[in-house]
Amino acid sequence: MAKRKKVVFILGAGFSVPALDLPQSQLLKKINKDKKHKSLINAIGKIWNDPINVPLEDVYTLFDRSVEKQESVGSFSSARILKLRNDLNDAIAEIHSIPVKKEKKKYVEDFARKLCALRWEYYDRGLKKKKATHGKYRDDRVAVISTNWDVLLEEQLGKTMQENNYKLKRPILGTTRGMFMDFCMFEFQLDKNKPFTPAYIPTSLRIKPHGFANLKFLKLHGGINWFQCPRCDGVIVNLTKRDSYTPNYKDKDCLVCLKNYQDYSHKTSALKRFFISPTFLKDFNATHFRSIWWNASYEIAEASHLVFIGYSLPLSDYDLRHLISKNINKDTHVTSILHSNDCSDIDYMRACKNYQDFFGGKATIEKYGIEDFVNKGHMDKILDSARD
């Protein structure tokens, strides 16, 4: 049986750098520029001599270990460290909520548009052939796996899909056509019926049963717009305004608990951020992450072409490296889109070596960067390889 053609994109932080101009190594410096985060930086400075240049991985690893082991750090109790970690999460989310100029994210718009076009093409083809229900969804030729917390691509995919749904008059529950993002988990919306546009957006696990097309968007580390209720364990995805990714989320209620429990208390159901920090102690055992990671393994197994964008395949990401090595097929094509101008020559050479060592020279490494990849026909050529 011939393997079905499918392109799976795996995105790293480098995908968003041209638009956000915010590499992870610069986050603490950016936070330091805002006076309201001065106490956070000062606290970090009591642990490290150079609080704005210490690697973010070291900060989070120390915080996470202290909270996990209930250990004090210097003059800080574990409870104080927990607050510092939450404050750092909020500060990072707030930075990412700053609006991005349209011209800087043009490549993201084009990337989203091309993904949606290919997904819709094969969904529509399946409907026209009047295939059985279980068959018309299987012919998805593209999926996205992302290690990023930011909402840059997520927002654009939502807007592109909704514009297409409105244009084709397919935005309402009960229609037979339409396309939505599939996070491959059961999530709720922070504000009911107030997503990118007023149109109805079903949760991920209800997209297919309603007859809509789904574009899998698997965020392995969660997102700054993802929240979890400590009472019902439900995950809420905020698809509203960018400014609500900031600490204002603490005033929001868990709609599930509010509806189901007469003894509802905001204190017991206060939402907390749900993303994996850049720590060396990453924990993916939450039910929702296990679902996402299992689906990611399935997508990698199905892929005829894996395309890495802005991802250096570092040794520290052993979870993702294990997932790839466990599920990739021997005949799968591998392409890595890097940009030597986005990092030092040493970092670029290290990234190239990571791919060469991991894939045994199988990977094709391109250094023209994400913008040229999208705008100069390289992406079109790869997407065409998924067509038949």
> Which tens digit of pLDDT belongs to each residue from 322-340?
999 999 999 999 999 987 6
Determine contact, residues 309/337, Cβ cutoff 8 Å: yes
pLDDT per residue as tens digits for the range 55-80? 999 999 999 999 999 999 989 999 99
Q: Please give the residue range of the domain that contains residue 87.
A: 24-96
Considering the domain architecture, whether residues 161 and 117 belong to the same structural domain is answered as yes
The letter for the amino acid at 339 is H
Q: Which of 5-19, 189-203, 213-227, 251-265 has the lowest mean pLDDT?
A: 189-203
Facing residues of 228 across strands? 235, 272
| Mean pLDDT of all residues belonging to the chain | 84
∠ CA 94-264-229, nearest 5°, is: 40
Q: What is the pLDDT of residue 197?
A: 40
Q: What is the pTM of this model?
A: 0.90
* Domain presence at residue 347: yes
In this structure, the answer to whether residues 14 and 28 fall within a common structural domain is no
The domain tally of the chain equals 2
Nearest to 333 by CA among 296, 300, 306, 302: 306
pLDDT at 174 over 70: no
Using the predicted structure, report yes or no on whether residue 178 has a pLDDT greater than 90.
no
Q: What is the spatial distance between Cα 276 and Cα 260, in angstroms, rounded to a whole number?
A: 29
Residues 6+ apart with CB under 8 A from 205: 185, 186
Residue 74 included in any domain: yes
Is it the case that residue 351 has pLDDT exceeding 50? Answer: yes
- pLDDT the model gives residue 28: 92
Q: Do residues 306 and 300 lie in contact, with contact meaning Cβ atoms separated by under 8 Å? A: yes
- Examine the pLDDT at 115 and tell me if it is beyond 80: yes
pLDDT of res. 341? 61
Q: Which residue is listed with tokens 């956070």?
A: 40
Q: For residues 183 and 308, state if they share a domain.
A: yes
For residue 322, give the CATH number of its domain: 3.40.50.1220
- Determine the average pLDDT of the residues in 135-158: 84
For residue 217, what pLDDT is reported? 96
In this predicted structure, what is the pLDDT of residue 171? 44
Instruction: Out of 96, 120, 155, pick the residue that ends a domain.
Output: 96
pLDDT digits (tens, 9 = 90+) for 360-379: 888 999 988 899 999 999 99
Q: Where are the alpha helices (DSSP H) in the chain?
A: 17-20, 27-32, 38-45, 56-69, 78-96, 106-128, 133-136, 152-167, 255-260, 287-302, 318-327, 345-359, 369-375, 378-384
Long-range contacts of 68-76 (CB under 8 A, 24+ apart): 68/281, 73/47, 74/46, 74/47, 75/46, 76/43, 76/46, 76/47
Residues 6+ apart with CB under 8 A from 90: 246, 247, 273
Residue 38 burial by CB count (10 A; 0-12/13-18/19+): exposed, middle or buried? Answer: exposed
**Of 73, 96, 119, at which residue does a domain stop?**
96
**pLDDT beyond 70 at 109:** yes
**pLDDT at residue number 247:** 52
Q: Is residue 338 part of a domain?
A: yes
Residue 237 inside a domain? The answer is no
Q: How many CB atoms lie within 10 A of CB 66?
A: 21
Distance from C-alpha of 76 to C-alpha of 94, rounded to nearest angstrom: 25
Residues 6+ apart with CB under 8 A from 102: none
Asked whether residue 28 falls in the same domain as residue 14, the answer is: no
Residue 31 has pLDDT above 50, yes or no: yes
Q: Are 77 and 112 part of one and the same domain?
A: no
Mean pLDDT computed over 18-36: 88
134-148, 227-241, 279-293, range with the lowest pLDDT: 134-148
Same domain (yes/no): 86, 136: no
Q: How large is the average pLDDT for residues 2-31? A: 89
Those residues with Cβ within 8 angstroms of residue 274's Cβ, 6 or more apart along the chain or in another chain:
222, 223, 226, 227, 228, 235, 286, 288
pLDDT digits (tens, 9 = 90+) for 271-296: 888 999 888 888 898 899 999 999 99
Same domain, 41 and 73: yes
* pLDDT tens, position by position, 300-321: 999 999 999 999 999 889 999 9
The pLDDT of residue 72 is 95
